[in-house]
Structures are given as C-alpha cells and as structure tokens.
Chain A
Amino acid sequence: MAEVLVYVDHVDGAVRKPTLELLTLARRLGEPVALALGPGAEATAAVLAEHGAVKVLTADAPEFADYLVVPKVDALQAAHAAVSPAAVLLPSSAETKEIAARFALRTGSGLITDATDLEAGDDGPVATQAVFAAAYTTTSRVSQGTPVITVKPNSAPVEAAPAAGAVEALTVTFGELATGTKVVSRTPRESTGRPELTEAAIVVSGGRGVNGAENFGIIEALADSLGAAVGASRAAVDAGWYPHASQVGQTGKSVAPQLYIASGISGAIQHRAGMQTSKTIVAVNKDAEAPIFDLVDYGVVGDLFDVVPQLTEEIKNRKG
C-alpha cells in the first residue's frame, strides 16, 4: 500500500489535534508515515501510532528552533526522499503552509492549501476547498509531482486506528538557505486555559456590540459554561478589547466548530470568511437587519447584555 507522509504539528512532544485529524484523512489514501521535528519529536510517537502512523520519522537539531521555516523544509525534503510517498499532508497553519509551499516548489509538485476534505481519486487525492469566503466549494487535485496538501483544522474526526508507529531517526542535511532568517527571540503565548480557538468544538465570539474590554467577561462566562473558546471580530480587536490572537476572520483565525455563537457581530464578509463553515451558527444582535442573520440556524434579535447572561444562567441551570 502507498505511503502518505504526514507532517506533525506538535509543541514539545504534545501533538496538536489537527495532526490527528490528518491521520484519519491520510488513511483514506494509504499508510501514514509521520514526520516529527524538533524537541520532543520522539515523544509524539505513541499518540501517532495510536492514530494510524505505521512509522514515525524524527529529527531534532538547533536549526529547527533558531531559524525560520527553511530547516523544516530541508527535513521534509529528506523525509520525502526516504519514503517516496503518494502524497504529503500538512495541517494548515501559517508556518506549515509555508513549509508545504517551499517544499512543493523544490520537488516540482503542485500545492493545495486549506483543504476541508480529502478523498482518494483515480488521478490522486481530490481535495475540497471552501473559497471566496466559503461562498463556493471547489474540488481540485494535483497534476504534477507529489500532491502536497494542507488541511484545515476540524476537517475530519480523530479516530483511533492503532499501528506500529516504529520510530526511525531521519538524517537531515541543511542547505545554504536554512540559516537565512534568524529567530532572535520567542515569547510563548500565554495560555487562557480555554480550548485552542481553531480546534474548539464550540466558539463564542464578541464584536463591536460588546462595547468595551470590561464587557468581554459576559462573552467569556458564556464560553466557560459551554467549555468553548472565545473569539472576537476585528472591530473588537482593533478597539483593544480582546487580543489579536482571538480574531476570527480573513486576517484572523479561520474556525469551523460544531457551534459558533456570534454576539454583537454584524457579519461582514471578512468575518464570515473565517466562520462560515461552522456546523451550527447562532447570533445575538439587536439589529434584525444584520447580515449575520442570513447565516444563522438560530438568531435572537435583542440586546446581548440581556440575552447572553440569561443564556449563560440557563446553561448552568441545565447542566446542574
């Protein structure tokens, strides 16, 4: 059976959920071989094996942390040479998309980014994309080289499918470009204790209607009652009410949770670009004409300062 190379996104050995989803998709195409780089790479093997990796290639070197992107491209290229896979899959993040793109150029391959689904086809994998702010759904495939495809979070279920997951050390030789961009310092993002925005099953977002940083507590309380992540519109972020890392939309995070709750958000095209593929959409807005209502499964026309706290209270009561 063909091997499929899966690039592992992990933080010090803790594999992030989108990679496990990717293994589900990879198994539709062949036998997943995982590539884990950097500190903790070997520690990823157990969970990768549990989700279907027949082999885990690992490599660590200071270059991965000290220089931007290119050392990882060198490693992916080495893994590609070692495995000759039928496809190379990566989770879609800013960094992994760049790795995928440079790798595609180097290997004479076609690139598809931000796929939301993947199927085996007669001429190689067929990828689904949601484009033009998710107004269109396209399917495409790669016609040259090894298909290189990045996949958005929440595009497939995480499924256990135990496999051997034998760890093998990969030898990587760094090219001249590897040390071009130095990472002078790195400040880890402080954890909020809430689920990761792009991975969360439920996202609760606030917009300009929240009207002040201090009022975001209302949004957070609702999120916590549901075990949700908190998002924000750009208007709320630009006003300084909530950190940019929480922005949902074209230039923020793209989310596709089971449930998206927008409060005090009008639903501008750039916001929709980041949340339109959510399964169930709910909005609270005092303006019945707000475009967000065109998208909703359930909408409440009303003042969020009344509706949201009442909703939170009711959820708490029901959950006991």
Chain B
Amino acid sequence: MSLRIVVCVKYVPDATGDRSFADDLTVDRDDVDGLLSELDEYAVEQALQIADEADDAEITVLTVGPEDAKDALRKALSMGADKAIHVEDDDLHGTDVIGTSLVLAKAIERAGYDLVITGMASTDGAMGVLPAVLAERLGVPQVTLLSEVKVEDGTVTGRRDGDTASERLEASLPAVVSVTDQSGEARYPSFKGIMAAKKKPVEALDLSDLGIEADEVGLAGARTVVVSAAERPARTAGTIVKDEGEGGKQLAEFLAGQKFI
C-alpha cells in the first residue's frame, strides 16, 4: 500500500536580507526576497529518504503563503517531491499560528495522508510549535523535533534530543513528525530535478476550497495582536582593540570595569 507523505514547507523572507514589518505590523514581504525556509529542506530530505525505503510512496509538498510561495514549492519539487499544493488567499494576510494550523490541517485532510513531516521551526516566526498544533488538530500523534527518524510497518520511531535528556519515541501512523537540522544534510536539487520540477503538478487552493471562512484566519481571525514593532536600536559602537601582546589583559581590565571579575 502506498505511503502518503505530506511535507509542510514555508516561504519566508531571506534571513540574510533586511527583514522588516509593514505598516499594518505584518511581515513586509515586498521589500525582501523570499525563499524556502532552510529548515524545511531537512523535512523534504527526510521525506525523500523515508519514501526511498518504502515500497511505494508519494510525497506532496504543501505551503500556505502568497503568490511567490510557489518558489518554495518548486525548490521542494526539484529536490524530488512528487506534487505540490499551494493555498493562497488574500484573506490569509496576517494569519497567526492557530489560523495557519487550521489551513494546513484542512488541506492535509483533503489531500489524504499517512505521515506529515515539517521543519523544526520556520526561520521567520520561529515559534517551533506549528507541528504540535497540527497534530492536535488532526488528532494524531506528534513525534516532533527528531534528529533521527525511521518509518517501518506503519510505525514511526525517532530520537528527540531535549534539554535534559535524549528520548527514543514511537508512534503509529498516521502521525505528524518534525525534524531538526541534525537529521541529515539536505540534498541539492540536480539539474535533472530542476527540469523535472517544471512539469510536476501544483494544485492551487483558496479558503473556499477548504471550507474555511475568511474571519477564521488572517488578521481578522488572529488570536494575537501585534501592538508595536520597532527596529532594535543599533548597539552603540564598542571599543575595539588590536592585540599587540596585551589584548587578554586589556580585555580583563574591561571585564573588571564592568564588575564581571
């Protein structure tokens, strides 16, 4: 029987660019280039490896995001995913994590799935909680923050390295899995992969396709309100000295002046 894998990927503003907020305090997506969140490449990679091990598997990549978010889907398709779903709707502007999880859950249920794989955190919102919320919505086990993952005979197992302990986890499918950047280097798309991706299907859905009302998502439905957003004042220029034999001592003097010694 075929293993249906859905990988959630987010399109995010490039972290090496000047990310900022628009006037309505949502993320400014116009003035900075976007890309597939780097941490989601690890999710795509693990999906590809799990699919390789399975007799028969199909990988769908799913994103909720603006028009340009197709770029993120193309990247995932060029890595080797089979098809893509793009949920786009003007009413999605300003959606919080609860709303995002609603849209993803509806799209995943519509597509059909045995396994959902996500990244550990996005590189913009970086909350790192979407996979847990998704599991709660779908009513399936969460097997999250795995640095090692294996799927066999309808069971997912993995290793989760926490603050105080490293745990081995196990759950039956269907399940939501998230993987860390320790799970294994993500492959680069090959030229062949990039060419093939152009022909792979990208299904476009909007809120009505998913039976979601406009006020359940977007700024209207958000359960949180951003009150203010301000650029952090640049740090005042520090003292920089060149080591000419006394650099360590000078640094000690500074630390003593600051009462650290």
Interface residues of A (CB under 8 A from B): 11, 68-70, 73, 93-95, 97-98, 100-102, 104-106, 108-114, 126, 130-145, 177, 180-189, 198, 202, 226, 244-245, 250-251, 258-259, 269-270, 273, 280-282, 284, 288, 293-303, 306-315, 318-319
Contacts and interface: CB of A to CB of B under 8 A. Distances in A.
Contact of A295 (B121, B136, B235): B235
Nearest to B226: A140
A105 B170 CA distance: 24
A126 B228 CA distance: 10
B161 A245 contact: yes
Nearest to A142: B224
A143 B222 contact: yes
Interface of B: 15-16, 19-21, 25, 39, 96-98, 101, 120-121, 123-124, 126-130, 132-133, 135-137, 139-145, 147, 157, 160-171, 175, 180-182, 222-232, 235, 238-243, 245-252, 254-256, 258, 260-261
Contact of B229 (A101, A137, A280, A282): A137
B145 A94 contact: yes
Contacts of B232: 130, 134-137
Nearest to B229: A138
3 closest A-B pairs (Cβ-Cβ)? Answer: A302-B243, A310-B248, A110-B223
Given A110-B222, A136-B21, A284-B251, A188 B129 contact: no
A69 B142 contact: yes
Interface of A is mostly: mixed
B240 A301 contact: yes
A94 B261 contact: no
B123 to A, nearest CB: 7
B136 to A, nearest CB: 4
22 contacts: A68-B144, A73-B136, A97-B132, A100-B129, A104-B133, A105-B101, A111-B97, A111-B224, A112-B224, A113-B129, A114-B127, A131-B229, A132-B19, A181-B143, A187-B166, A280-B258, A293-B240, A298-B238, A300-B242, A302-B247, A307-B247, A310-B247
Nearest to A197: B163
Given A183-B168, A282-B251, A300-B250, A288 B242 contact: yes
B226 A138 contact: yes
B28 to A, nearest CB: 10
Nearest to B252: A314
Nearest to A191: B164
A131 B20 CA distance: 10
B248 A318 contact: no
Nearest to A202: B260
A61 B246 CA distance: 59
Contacts of B97: 101, 111
A311 B250 CA distance: 8
A102 B136 contact: yes
A93 B163 contact: yes
Contact of B167 (A114, A183, A202): A183
A183 B160 CA distance: 10
Contact of B15 (A109, A269, A303, A319): A269
A314 B124 CA distance: 42
B170 A184 contact: yes
Contacts of B255: 259, 282, 315
Given A144-B223, A177-B139, A251 B231 contact: no
Contacts of B175: 180-181
Nearest to A113: B127
A181 to B, nearest CB: 4
A250 B122 CA distance: 10
Contacts of A139: 226-228
Given A69-B144, A180-B141, A245-B161, 20 more contacts: A94-B162, A100-B129, A101-B132, A106-B136, A110-B224, A111-B96, A111-B127, A112-B224, A139-B227, A143-B223, A189-B164, A251-B39, A251-B120, A299-B238, A299-B240, A302-B247, A303-B243, A306-B247, A310-B249, A313-B248
A262 to B, nearest CB: 12
Contacts of A184: 157, 167-170
A67 to B, nearest CB: 9
Nearest to A295: B235
Contacts of A307: 243, 247-248, 251
Contacts of B135: 102
B126 to A, nearest CB: 7
Contacts of B161: 244-245
Contacts of B147: 244
Contacts of B228: 138-139
